[in-house]
Structures are given as C-alpha cells and as structure tokens.
Chains A and B, each alone.
Chain A
Amino acid sequence: MTSKSRAAAKSGFEESPYQVVEVTTTHAGAYAGRQLAEAGLPVLRLELLDKPGQQLPPMTSGGFSAPYLSLNGKKENVRVNGASAPGREFLARIIANSSVFVTDVPDLFTARSALVTCRLHVDSVCVAGDLPSNDILVQAMSGALSMTGRLEGAPTPIGIPVGDVAPGLFAAIGVLFALVEEIPQTISIHSLDATVSLLSYLGCSFLVSGAEPGFAGSGHPFVTPYGAYRAKDGYIIVAPGFTQVFWQNLCRMLGRSDLIDDPRFRTFTNRKNNRADLQKILSTAFAENTVEEWEARLDQADVPNGPVRSFRQALEHPVTNVRGMITQVHGLPFLNTPLINNTPMDGMADRPLGARGWRQALGRLGMTGADVAALGENGIVSPGYTPFSQPTETEVYKGSTPSQTG
C-alpha cells in the first residue's frame, strides 16, 4: 500500500527535539496539528471532556467518527478533565513545557508554550456558538460563494472544507517557520483571513477591473474555452484557453484547424467576446464520443483535460495507489499527506506511529511516571477515543526520555 518513498517522507527526525501540544475542538485546529504530525513532529492532542470536539458524522460500523480518524489518527490522543482544578493545573504545566502549543480554544489564548504558540481564531465570522466546523460560514463571508455556482444559479458551497483546511495549512506553515527562526513567538491565524487569501486571481481580477466575477459554472469568467463538456457518458473538462499552443492543439485534434484563423476566435479577447459561438461548436463536437475516448485523444494532442470523477472514483484510480495516497493508520485505511520524499539515499527511517505513546509524550513534557499514574487514578487524564491511542505500551512510563523543551 504505502510506497517506499512516502514511508520515508513521514519521518521528520529519529528523535524530535520538539514536542507539540494541541488542544483543539475544531476541524481547522486539528488539521493544523495533523500537518505538524505529518512533518515528523510528535503531537500530543488533549481533548477536553467538556468540549467534545470533532466527533462528527458519519460514524463507521465500528462506531467512531471518520473525520476524527482523518484529523487525529497520527497523534497521541489523551482526554483531560479540564474543568477540574488539577486538570487545569496539568494543562498549564504541560503547555508551558511544550515547544509548540496549538489551540483554537479562546479560554486558552492566554497560555503560552516555551517556544511557539499558535492560536487559531475560528469564530471570527458573524456567529455565536461552538461549531466544530465553521467551513460554510467562512466560505460565505470570504466571497468564495459569490463566485461558485451555475450561471443564473445559486451560491453553492465548495465541497472541500476550505474554510477549515486553509487556516490549518497556514497555521502549520507558520509554526514550522517559527521553529526554523527559533524566536519565541505567538502566531495567530483567522479562518476568514486564510480563506480570503486563497481567492487568488478571481479576487485580484475584482481589484484590477472593479467587476464582480459572479458565477461561472464549470467555466472561467475570462478564459474560453475552459470548463466541462458533456460527452456521451459523462463530463470531461477541457482547459486549452490559457495558451495559443493548447488552443491550436485542440482545434487540430477536432479536425477544425479552420478555427485557428477564424477572426472570432483568434485571441483571448476574440474567444471571450464570441464565447457563445465557440461553446456551441465545442458542445456539439464533444457530445459525439465517450469521456474515455476524448481523454485519450486530448492527451495525445496535448490539450489539458480530465474526466470529472466522483471522490470515490478518484480514490479508486490506480494513480492514487501508485502515489501512496492511501496508507494505513491503526490498521485502518488512511488518506495520506501529499508531500513525498524523493531524496535519494536519504536513509531516514519511518517514525513508527504511536511508538512513543502518550505516556512518553507526557514524560517529554516534564511529567514523572508517578505524576502520570496519579492523574490517571484521579480521572484527570485518560486515553483518547478508541480505536486510536489505546495505550499499546503495557509498561508504566519509565522516564527514559528527558524533556528537551523546558
């Protein structure tokens, strides 16, 4: 399942000098923590008993949350009774001893780690309430939904939770860069800011032209041809509009070299102004063959194209497996990180998942074996949700790894 190169890519360091403590209740915060775990940093995630976090549906037949595995499968997960005085004291102590502290819980915005503190402000939009995912609201407030939808249609939520993922990715970039700088610092990310910063060319086009781009369906407000065309058995997207070479390749592939010199379609501007004519010609042409036939012919002619797949089909495509995008965590199939290590002769071994265990993580944060045992007996700390982070180590923590972060 896992390709060799990707197994090595998971490894950051044989023995990390850093220990991350994550206390998050949202998808955004947990996604940030996941990226740090993927970068090889040991992440201890503390779940506050009074804030259930991301136990979001759908549940598997095993009775646990699928999103939860995706977000937290590579972390050490521990539950903490944060409402009790000893629980609060415990939190304060290990946060102060951590090298990185990531949180999206406003009550903890005064707490600081020894080196890098990362705060995610997920509630910066117009809402009250503790939502595990603010994605839809962030998408709406970012302007993205005013541009996502069919012509004459309705604003349509983006099916990828960009309002959660974007702040998570920026937070991870910020944390890793702060560790490189080695300057004690607090970084902060607002979900809305992170999402707005991805509006990219559509946002900038508004800045240069002053016009709202509006809905474009599967197409593009400025570039033609670009978008999905209906073939015999489904949709295929074609995107040759960006360069003259791709456009000419398309015309030749369709046996319509005449279009190249047709004054209606010669330039970007011509094609945009005569979009309706061009769409009519292309729609008629693409309706004649199957998606598979078109993909082969378009690839042959070097015209950017691709079949419109469902997510399940994308997962089942051979390329996904070859690239090692599906791996295993806790014996369960797991959608991997996209960063692959291509370094020749790197020799980095994979960090065995969960090998250190949460007791070891607490040891690195300055807790003695006796401390951990007492916290466990008093119900302040307990292992995280099954099937993850069930303590696999049977021995009591022996304190073999001194904390290197204090």
Chain B
Amino acid sequence: MLAGPFGTMVLGDLGFEIIKVEEKKIGDYTRHTPPYRNGLSAYFFAANRNKKSIIVDLKRPEGRNIILDLVRTADAVVENFRPGVMEHLGLDYGRLMDANPQIILVSVNGFGSTGPLRDKTSFDLVAQAMSGAMALTTPDDGEPIKPAIPLGDVGGGLFAALGVVRALLERKITGRGKHLEVSLLDAMLAQAACVGEQFLLGASDSERPVRLAPNGVFPTADGFIALAAYTDIAWAALCKALGCEQWQDDPRYRTMADRSNAAEEIRARVNSILAGRSTAHWLQTFSASAVPACPIANLQMVFDNPELEARGMLPSIPNMVTGPLRTFGNPIQRHGRPYRAEMLPPPLHGQHTEEILSSILAYSPERIKELMESGAVAGLQPESAGAVKS
C-alpha cells in the first residue's frame, strides 16, 4: 500500500523525523515494483523521501520491545496493516499507550476495522473501483477508466497526515493521545463529497452526476484542449470567441443550472466548432478573449513549467544509487518557501538500523550486536544497493 508511506512523506516534508519500520525479507514491497533506475523503484521513490529505514522482526518479543521503545520517543505511529494485525503483534493502541500515554496512532486500511469488508484486501485500484471514482471518470458504458492519480492511496495518505496533525493539536490542548482510523474507501468517498452530495439530496436521479457545462476536454483539429466556460461570464466570453453570440439568448442555456442540464447538447455544439481549427489557434483565441482554457500538459511540460520551478516544486534530491533525481515537492509553503530547503533521498533497506538503535534509543554496542545476531534487527540489505530487479 502506498497510502501510509505517502501520508508520512507529507509530514516528513514539513520537518517531522520519519522512521520507517520494515521487515527483512522483502521490506516495503514497492521497493520491488518497476520501473527502476539503478535498482531504485519509482514507486518507492514516490513515497519515501526524507525517511530513515530500520529493519525489525515484529514477530519476536525483542522486536516488539524495540518498537515500544521507539514509541516512547515518538509523537505518532502510522500503520497500514490489515485490521487485527497490530493486535496480533502485541502493538494495539492499548499497548502503545502503556509505553507512551500521549502516543497518537493513525491506522490506514482498505475498508475499516469494522463492517462487512474488514478483511478484504485493498489496493488503490480496488478503492477506485468500489468507491465509484472510476465510474465517475468513465464517460460511457465501455471499459472503465482509472484516474492516473492514485486517489485511493494518496487520498488515504493525505487524510492520515491530516489525522496526525489534528491529533497533535488536540493533544496540545487536552494532553491526551488519540487513535484515528481512515479507510481508503471512505477517503475516496470524502474526496468526491461535493459531487456525491447530489445523490444523497436527490438532486440527481440518474447514475451519472449532473456536471457543470461546458467544462472538460474538447477535441480540436490536431489534439485536445481543456475548457472551463461554465460561469455566466466565461460562457458569454466563449460564445463571443466562437462567433456564436446567439447561444447566449437561447433560453436552454441561460443559467449555470440550465447549461448543466444541457451539457451533452452544448458539448456537441462546441465540439463541432473546435474540431475545425488547431489547439494552438484556440489557445490563442481563448487567451485573447478571456475564455478559461489551457492545453493538456504531458509530464515533460510539467517539468518544464517555470512557475513550478520558481516555487521550488521540482527539487533535486541527491541519491548515491542513481545520482541526483528531480521530483515533485510538497505544495505547502511557509512565507513563500518550501518547509524543507533540502530533501533527503529515500532510505536503502535497513540503512539506518544501527543509527536509530544507538542514537535514538541509546542501546549499547553490545546490545545492538546481540540483536543483530539473534535476527531481531538487521542492517543494510545488500540487494537494496542497486541489484538488477526482474
């Protein structure tokens, strides 16, 4: 699951120290998901910068005690096991509170620890399908379309991060910790709340929601253009720019609500005109007449966007395995600057085991050696230094 790691990465970007606890054999499975550069998985890279990695065998009592020692030094624990696993490991919220009465626990899972789907396996795609997000994205009855942004994972992660800072703020006032839970399915529904409310209120009687119009992607002679001309002002500007002022007087298109109801008809009319000229032509025309529109950017265009560069949204992260890699920064800026001046690369598997045991937990070298030998912990794993994956 990408959700938990993404949520803690957002917090790490704000300056939190993030300790990632992994098991020895495989570790975070996204370490082994293609594509790679010199053994670094893009998946892992996408959700694990600014973290430290420790390998602990949670199934051993010594391993569990190390976690409880870490909990004594920590503000919050974020976990994304299936429901029941933390209890099984002896790490339920009661045990964590015994170690640190003020600890905050945020659990991220597929469908929640209560309810009929508690034990069902989830992934981003599962949450996207079952929440209606794919259906909302699919314009017809054909093959469902998956949103390219993994909204199940990143949404779950964002709500988890929100839960951590919210619980920290409450703790500041009440002195008490909290156990919050978010499921990927519920996080998906909450992101669509604004669209979904119409079903609850009976404002839409079909399976598809009522949408703003014209608002979407429209084909041109040589590609596509995004257009958001649904307000009265933007609609008037569009009618004028297309040379169709008479549309403004059409009683079927008078208000925003009217245009929503006539969305398909408006789309067909706009399509028939836009299809006659190039994207460049329309971008220029719309720009000159204040019609909200823009091109469909590919990733190269995003990385060449000087605005993003100027705001520090495309930081370069040093990396001993791959050399420096650019990535997307964190959008939260304080006084116009990113919280972190420098990003740290994602950790190698077990890279910080010894450092964490000695400097954070102040274990003696003898004790660390003993734990290493017994297998309760492990140091840097050779396969994470850039072995070829298949």
Contact = CB atoms under 8 A, between A and B. Distances in A.
A337 B122 contact: no
B292 A131 contact: yes
B151 A309 contact: no
B378 interface: no
A313 B132 contact: yes
Given A137-B292, A322-B116, A239 B46 contact: no
B201 A13 contact: no
Nearest to B216: A157
A373 interface: no
A35 interface: yes
Contact of B191 (A160, A177, A205, A209): A160
Contacts of B305: 141
A340 B156 CA distance: 12
B377 interface: no
- Which of the listed residues B10, B35, B331 has the most CB atoms from chain A within 10 Å of its own CB? B331
Given A70-B193, A304-B122, A315-B199, A156 B145 contact: yes
A154 interface: yes
Given A204-B46, A218-B145, A340 B137 contact: no
Contacts of B133: 158-160, 311
Interface string B243-257: 000000000000011
Interface stretch (A143-151, A364-372, A376-384): A143-151
A267 B331 CA distance: 37
Interface in A103-142: 124-137, 139-142
Interface residues of A, number: 157
A75 to B, nearest CB: 14
A401 interface: no
A111 B230 CA distance: 30
A149 B145 contact: yes
A228 B129 contact: yes
A196 B46 CA distance: 12
Interface stretch (B17-25, B161-169, B358-366): B161-169
B194 A162 contact: no
B383 interface: no
B308 A200 contact: no
Given A137-B228, A203-B328, A340-B181, A332 B93 contact: no
B137 A158 contact: yes
Given A71-B194, A140-B295, A207-B42, A57 B257 contact: yes
Interface in A162-195: 162, 164-167, 169-174, 176-180, 185-190, 192-195
A287 to B, nearest CB: 13
Nearest to B112: A323
Which of A178, A179, A204, A242 gathers the greatest number of chain B CB atoms within 10 Å? A204
Contacts of B260: 57-58
Nearest to A9: B180
Nearest to B110: A304
B221 interface: no
A162 B190 CA distance: 11
A189 B166 contact: no
B287 A196 contact: no
Contacts of B203: 58-61, 66
B268 interface: no
A223 B158 CA distance: 24
B173 interface: yes
Nearest to A206: B299
Contacts of A280: none
A200 B125 contact: no
A342 B150 CA distance: 26
Nearest to B287: A126
A228 B159 CA distance: 27
A292 interface: no
A183 B166 CA distance: 16
A325 B189 contact: yes
| Most chain A Cβ neighbours within 10 Å, of B112, B132, B163, B166 | B166
Contact of A173 (B138, B151, B161): B161
Given A71-B194, A193-B308, A322-B116, A242 B123 contact: yes
Interface string B346-367: 0000000000000000000000
B301 A143 contact: yes
Contacts of A226: 125
A312 B212 CA distance: 19
B93 to A, nearest CB: 7
A223 B33 contact: yes
A36 B200 CA distance: 23
Interface string A56-81: 11111100001101110000000000
Contacts of B37: 208-209
A263 interface: no
Given A69-B201, A158-B149, A302-B121, A339 B181 contact: yes
A310 interface: yes
A200 B46 contact: yes
B334 A187 contact: yes
Contacts of A146: 148, 296-299
A314 B130 contact: yes
Interface string A26-37: 010001000100
Given A66-B203, A161-B194, A309 B135 contact: yes
A315 B196 contact: yes
Interface string B281-297: 00000010010111111
B45 to A, nearest CB: 5
Contacts of B138: 156, 159
11 contacts: A60-B198, A67-B195, A141-B294, A145-B148, A170-B331, A190-B331, A196-B308, A204-B327, A204-B328, A222-B33, A268-B390
Given A212-B299, A315-B199, A323-B186, 11 more contacts: A135-B228, A139-B226, A142-B302, A157-B217, A162-B191, A196-B331, A209-B37, A237-B128, A309-B131, A318-B116, A341-B178
A-B complex: 9 closest residue pairs judged by Cβ atoms: A159-B136, A311-B132, A147-B148, A338-B186, A140-B226, A193-B331, A208-B37, A70-B197, A127-B292
